[in-house]
Amino acid sequence: MSFSEGKKATRQRVIMTELALSPSVRTSELAMQLGVSAETVRRDIEELTRRGLVSRTYGGATGLQLGLQPGFQDRDATAVQERDAIARMAVQMVKPGHVLMIDSGSTTAHFARALAYSVDGLTVITNGLAVAQALAPQKKTRVVFCPGEFSSDEGGVYGPDTCAFLGRFNADIAFIGASGLTLDGPNDVVSNACWVKRKMLERAERRALLVTSSKFNRRHLELVCPLKDLSDVVTEAPPGEPLVEALQVSEITLHVSSTRYLEKE
């Protein structure tokens, strides 16, 4: 990735995106990613700190906000390899003829793109535009798109009409994403998104969270559901011991990389 030094707003957006995906960032790593000097990145971090958006640390920065996250397009362009690994793992959970609910998000969009070329005869109910666009061209997949108010930042539809519509259907598996995962459960920045995720989980026999390991132990504005309400967590790298133990206690199947890391008895 390379930006000219004059494109300050673009650089700062990248810094904010990285902080939404990781607890902290290093100046040297950002400089290499952006193709600019470390001093340029330090000036950007200083400005973001003055604006109250980040906290400057020795050698980098940490994020501050529980209620902010980058837009869908920015998220979709980051952690691509991790999301693709998660998508390939999640596809293995799906069988021909399944009815799926897939919520709007960057990780679920990667999953839908992988699913489109892997399993036939599906019915997919979604509020995510990128999910529908990935699956709609496949003639053997039926796509049901929810009504609701469209959010360009989130790339999906939300609101009471969306939740009421989802309540009419049943699903074999619900696949949701989240901004973070803690011992309490998955959490998210957008309240409207939380309501859609809850309704999808409520209507499905199996309830899978697709989440990159960078989101482990990250707290955000609103808890989506208690940890025990999930049946599966799909990720690309194993979490630390406290979270592994919590998943075991809640009898949640943890799928990591190309192996099933934890299984129910």
Residuewise pLDDT in 10s, the chain (265 residues): 444 445 888 888 888 777 766 667 888 888 888 889 989 988 888 887 776 566 677 777 666 554 455 555 555 455 678 889 999 999 999 999 999 999 999 899 999 999 998 998 999 999 999 999 999 988 889 999 999 999 988 899 999 999 999 999 999 999 999 988 999 999 998 899 999 999 999 999 999 999 988 788 888 889 999 999 999 999 999 998 999 999 999 999 999 975 444 444 3
Q: What is residue 52's predicted lDDT score, i.e. its pLDDT?
A: 54
- DSSP structure string for 137-155: T-TTSEEEEPPSEEETTTT
Say how far apart CA 15 and CA 5 lie, in whole Å.
14
Residues 232 and 161 in one domain: yes
Count up the domains in the chain and report the number.
Answer: 2
What residues make up the domain containing 47? 8-63
Backbone angles phi, psi at 51, to 5 degrees: -80, 0
Q: What is residue 11's predicted lDDT score, i.e. its pLDDT?
A: 87
**Cα distances (Å, whole numbers) of residue 138 to 114, 116, 122:** 12, 7, 10
Task: Note whether residue 164 is domain-resident.
Answer: yes
Residues 52 and 182 in one domain: no
Residues 160 and 239 in one domain: yes
Say how far apart CA 111 and CA 164 lie, in whole Å.
25
Residues 12 and 97 in one domain: no
Beta partners for 100?
Answer: 124, 173
Task: Note whether residue 245 is domain-resident.
Answer: yes
Q: Are the beta carbons of 41 and 31 closer than 8 angstroms?
A: yes
Q: Which two tokens stand for residue 31?
A: 């400089």
Q: How far is CA 138 from the centre of its chain?
A: 24
Among the listed residues 76, 120, 3, 82, the one whose alpha carbon sits nearest the alpha carbon of residue 256: 82
What is the greatest pairwise CA distance in the chain? 57
SS3 of residue 55 by DSSP? strand
Residues 206 and 178 in one domain: yes
Give the domain CATH number at 142.
3.40.50.10470
Residues 112 and 211 in one domain: yes
SS3 of residue 6 by DSSP? coil
Q: Are the beta carbons of 145 and 215 closer than 8 angstroms?
A: no
**Cα distances (Å, whole numbers) of residue 165 to 112, 148, 188:** 21, 9, 22
Residues 41 and 153 in one domain: no
Q: What is the per-residue burial (b if ≥16 Cβ within 10 Å, else e) of 19-46?
A: bbbbeebbbeebbebbebeeebbbebbe
Q: Which two tokens stand for residue 86?
A: 């998660």
Task: Note whether residue 3 is domain-resident.
Answer: no
Residues 40 and 124 in one domain: no
Task: Note whether residue 232 is domain-resident.
Answer: yes
DSSP label of 124: E
Residues 116 and 42 in one domain: no
Residues 162 and 47 in one domain: no
Residues 150 and 200 in one domain: yes
Task: Note whether residue 2 is domain-resident.
Answer: no
Among the listed residues 209, 127, 129, 205, the one whose alpha carbon sits nearest the alpha carbon of residue 165: 127
CA-based torsion, 237, 184, 190, 170: positive or negative: positive
Give the domain CATH number at 18.
1.10.10.10
